[in-house]
Amino acid sequence: MDPQQALEKHFGFREFREPQGEVISGILSGQDVFVVMPTGGGKSLCYQLPAILLDGVTVVVSPLVALMKDQVDALVGRGLSATLINSTISTAEQQQRIRRMRKGEFKLVYIAPERFRSRSFLQALGQITIGLFAIDEAHCISQWGHDFRPDYFRLGSVLEELGRPQIAAFTATATPEVRADIVKRLGLENPSVFVAGFARPNLRFIVTETERESEKFNRLRELIRRHRTGIVYCATRKRVDQVSEELKSWGIRVVSYHGGIGDDAREEAQSQFTQSTCDVAVATNAFGMGIDRADLRFVVHFEIPGSLEAYYQEAGRAGRDGEPAECELLFNYADTRIQDFFIDGSNPSIELIRKVYLLLRNLADEQGEVERSIHDIAARLDQESNEMAVHAAITILDRHGVIDRYDIPGKRIRGTRVLQRSLQPFQLPIDTAALREKEKRDRAKLKAMVDYAYGRDCRQKIILRYFGDNDLEACGACDRCSSVRSKKIRPPTDEELLLVRKALSGVARMCYRTHEGFMPRFGRSRVIQMLVGSRGKELLEAGLHELTTYGLLKQKSTNYLHELFRELEEAKLIYSTGGQYPMVGLAELGVAVMQNAASFSLVWPEESRPRRANENARKPKDEAPFDRDLYEALRKTRTALAHEQGGVPHYVIFPDETLKAFARLKPSSVESARRIRGVGEVKAAKYVGRFVQAIKDFEGRNSPLGDHSSE
């Protein structure tokens, strides 16, 4: 069987996407490959198909423990022999699956990275012929990436112990810097590197500046009303719970997902969302990796994430069916404090690392082992030590070979083994310069995310430029591109001139007046609050309500004034300082305009900007209409089949895209259905007959003759 035959038989496709064919050819020729491909680009096919054709077993390392079963079920549904090894199965079952691997009963095995900590597991794996060692979410191996995981960091040494099998590494989001680090950590020598285009032309990127939580909920309500299905990402567990409760009060079918809920609850939430029994998921970034639900019409970030890598990966879960979708950031600069807290917690000082080591050494039993939770360890330190920083310190000690972490059967906590008990805290082999460099890079990532939020350029261009793709055109769909098309720079009317002079007077009143001019003293939001006459506690305590400009623009909305201030800065009438909390000052031209001694032109914001859903998003090539009533009937058939197959996710039977094709083309036989994209030989034999019969039944019920068949 050649790759084309395997593609048609097991996956139901007639042709590869770019660059799937080249990647698979590279793997089959024996090369190591490194693939950067956007979410929804078809990365998994690049290692699943070669697994059929290569000798031995293909090992897939994936952090997606909660989703492995769905992926294995999907492969089995395609007629492939696949299994998984992770913490959800017993030791006895794990040993049984390893024995079956040795006998050649599996072609593809998903393995969680923490399994490689076990010496006995590594030794057992070393006795098995590994045809390909595939690493999904490979950015997790790089400490410069946005989702570094210590168990991934060990994979370089794991590969050495397994005799350097052929390697294929995959990621959706990696800057050139992170790519180089991945190649280095895995010890790849002259790999074939494939970087697919990062652009997602069906996604419309929007940033909506908000001042109050109520504005975020109003915008969220509008998005759900228009699009129904999507994910709302929140920065903290507490916020997930708050947003979920609010959405439930609206009558929305919603699931919550974060690391604080139990394993069973997380699995149930994921299952409900994947099988389309719920419309909206509210989650932290723990949710969504590998979610194979193609019909998500929006992804909203309720707060700003910590990096563009994280943002683009999470936003990229929208519109995987190729249809238009919206990715919106509800931006308030104050939310960056949450990310600052996370950065502080993930970059502990060398002093804290030494304290944690000393405590672990003192708590260790005769075997050097400590079985205590992070919460307990943090509680034994000084009050300023938060759990996140303590966890990060333990991770650093683990990475530097000072301690070893291990699973404790039947418990959610992990144990710690102190490996060098005679080592004094000041002797720890910690590279402090590297720690400082990591914190510097983390803060630079957050700054890039803030720059994106404030950016004037096409949103997709900003993102793609960040990932090293400089040969780009504007997307034509984002809020910035829409603004450029709809607005032109022009001088002010008399009314607009008066408005701007009032705004500039407000900036001047809130500046320090020195011989150098009007120097910044407050941030933009505080200035705008003063101009609209806010009664906020901090504003009143600062005495800003006593200024002559207080409430001078109370007839204007804060959103309008935020846009106006952005345009005033673009026109060089005002300026913002750098730093963590930028302040706004009055520029020379602004002083002259305020005094009616100079002219200017702006792109003038509108009083209200109703957005029509995806009016500018590029349309997919195939827009032929399909019978929606038939489509709904076919969805019911799929639900019944999924139940008969043991409750597998619906996409294991067929994805929505294939059902739409059925509803459009209405195949009358299994043979004609096989020509439809996504229908392979295996699925045709197992499922297609039921769908063809459902189409015939539907046609019979809805034909003119069918209405009078009893006569």
Report, as an integer, the average pLDDT of 369-393: 87
Residue matched to tokens 């300023």: 384
pLDDT band at 709 (very low <50, low <70, confident <90, very high): very low
Report, as an integer, the average pLDDT of 200-228: 91
For the chain, percent of residues with pLDDT exceeding 70? 93
Q: Say what the pLDDT of residue 354 is.
A: 95
- Please determine, for residue 705, whether its predicted confidence score (pLDDT) is greater than 60: no
- The tokens describing 277, both together, are 């029994």
Report, as an integer, the average pLDDT of 692-709: 68
Q: Say what the pLDDT of residue 286 is.
A: 64
Residue type, 624: A
Q: Say what the pLDDT of residue 383 is.
A: 59
Report, as an integer, the average pLDDT of 1-13: 89
Q: Say what the pLDDT of residue 679 is.
A: 86
Report, as an integer, the average pLDDT of 279-292: 75
Across 91-122, b (16+ Cβ under 10 Å) vs e yields eeebeebbeebeeeebbbbbbbbbbbbeeebe
pLDDT band at 301 (very low <50, low <70, confident <90, very high): very high
Out of 132-146, 338-352, 631-645, give the one with best mean pLDDT: 338-352
Q: Say what the pLDDT of residue 510 is.
A: 93
Q: Cα 563 vs. chain centroid, distance in angstroms?
A: 28
Q: Say what the pLDDT of residue 617 is.
A: 41
**For the residues of 652-711, what is the DSSP string, one character each?**
HH--HHHHHHHHHH--SSHHHHTTSTT--HHHIIIIIHHHHHHHHHHHHHHSTTGGGTT-
- What is the tens place of the pLDDT at every residue in 632-655? 889 889 988 888 887 777 878 888
Report, as an integer, the average pLDDT of 461-480: 86
- What is the tens place of the pLDDT at every residue in 98-114? 999 999 999 999 999 98
3-class SS of residue 218: helix
Count CB-CB contacts under 10 A for residue 53.
17
- Please determine, for residue 170, whether its predicted confidence score (pLDDT) is greater than 70: yes
Higher pLDDT, 272 or 418: 418
Count CB-CB contacts under 10 A for residue 392.
20
Percent helix / strand / coil, the chain, rounded to 5? 50, 15, 40
For the chain, percent of residues with pLDDT exceeding 90? 50
Report, as an integer, the average pLDDT of 536-562: 90
- Please determine, for residue 96, whether its predicted confidence score (pLDDT) is greater than 50: yes
- Please determine, for residue 399, whether its predicted confidence score (pLDDT) is greater than 70: yes
How many CA atoms lie within 13 Å of 22's alpha carbon, on the beta-carbon side? 12
- Please determine, for residue 160, whether its predicted confidence score (pLDDT) is greater than 50: yes
Nearest to 85 by CA among 38, 128, 32: 128
In order of 139, 396, 402, 515, 530, the CA distances from 405 in angstroms are: 22, 11, 10, 61, 54
DSSP letter at 115?
G
- Please determine, for residue 704, whether its predicted confidence score (pLDDT) is greater than 80: no
Q: Say what the pLDDT of residue 402 is.
A: 93
- The residue length of the chain stands at 711
- Please determine, for residue 710, whether its predicted confidence score (pLDDT) is greater than 60: no
Q: Say what the pLDDT of residue 186 is.
A: 93
For residue 545, which phi and psi values (nearest 5 degrees)?
Answer: -70, -10
Range with the poorest average pLDDT among 25-39, 405-419, 571-585, 651-665: 571-585
Q: Say what the pLDDT of residue 328 is.
A: 98
d(CA 603, CA 480): 12
Report, as an integer, the average pLDDT of 295-321: 92
- What is the tens place of the pLDDT at every residue in 606-617? 775 444 434 444
> What domains can you pick out in the chain, each with its CATH number?
3-195 (3.40.50.300), 203-331+455-483 (3.40.50.300), 341-430 (1.10.10.10), 488-603 (1.10.10.10), 628-708 (1.10.150.80)
DSSP letter at 17?
P
- What is the tens place of the pLDDT at every residue in 371-380? 999 989 999 9
| HEC-encoded secondary structure of 449-466 | HHHHHHCCCCHHHHHHHH
54: left (phi over 0), alpha (psi -120 to 50) or beta: beta
End-to-end CA distance of the chain: 54
d(CA 108, CA 83): 7
Report, as an integer, the average pLDDT of 576-602: 86
Count CB-CB contacts under 10 A for residue 269.
22
Q: Say what the pLDDT of residue 581 is.
A: 62
d(CA 303, CA 282): 12
Q: Cα 57 vs. chain centroid, distance in angstroms?
A: 30
Q: Which helix (H) or strand (E) holds 281?
A: strand 280-283
pLDDT band at 288 (very low <50, low <70, confident <90, very high): low
Across 356-369, b (16+ Cβ under 10 Å) vs e yields bbebbbebbeeebb
Is cis: bond before 667, omega within 30 of 0?
Answer: no
In order of 124, 210, 449, the CA distances from 232 in angstroms are: 42, 16, 18
Q: By the 8 A CB rule, do 472 and 461 touch?
A: yes
Report, as an integer, the average pLDDT of 161-169: 94
Q: By the 8 A CB rule, do 435 and 350 touch?
A: yes
- Please determine, for residue 405, whether its predicted confidence score (pLDDT) is greater than 70: yes
d(CA 217, CA 227): 15
Q: Say what the pLDDT of residue 681 is.
A: 82
pLDDT, averaged across the chain: 87
Nearest to 195 by CA among 467, 405, 387: 467
| HEC-encoded secondary structure of 559-623 | HHHHHHHHHHHHCCCEEECCCCCCCEEECHHHHHHHCCCCCCCEECCCCCCCCCCCCCCCCCCCC
Report, as an integer, the average pLDDT of 22-49: 90
- Please determine, for residue 620, whether its predicted confidence score (pLDDT) is greater than 50: no
Report, as an integer, the average pLDDT of 308-327: 90
Q: By the 8 A CB rule, do 77 and 653 touch?
A: yes
Q: Dihedral sign, CA of 144, 148, 152, 157? A: positive
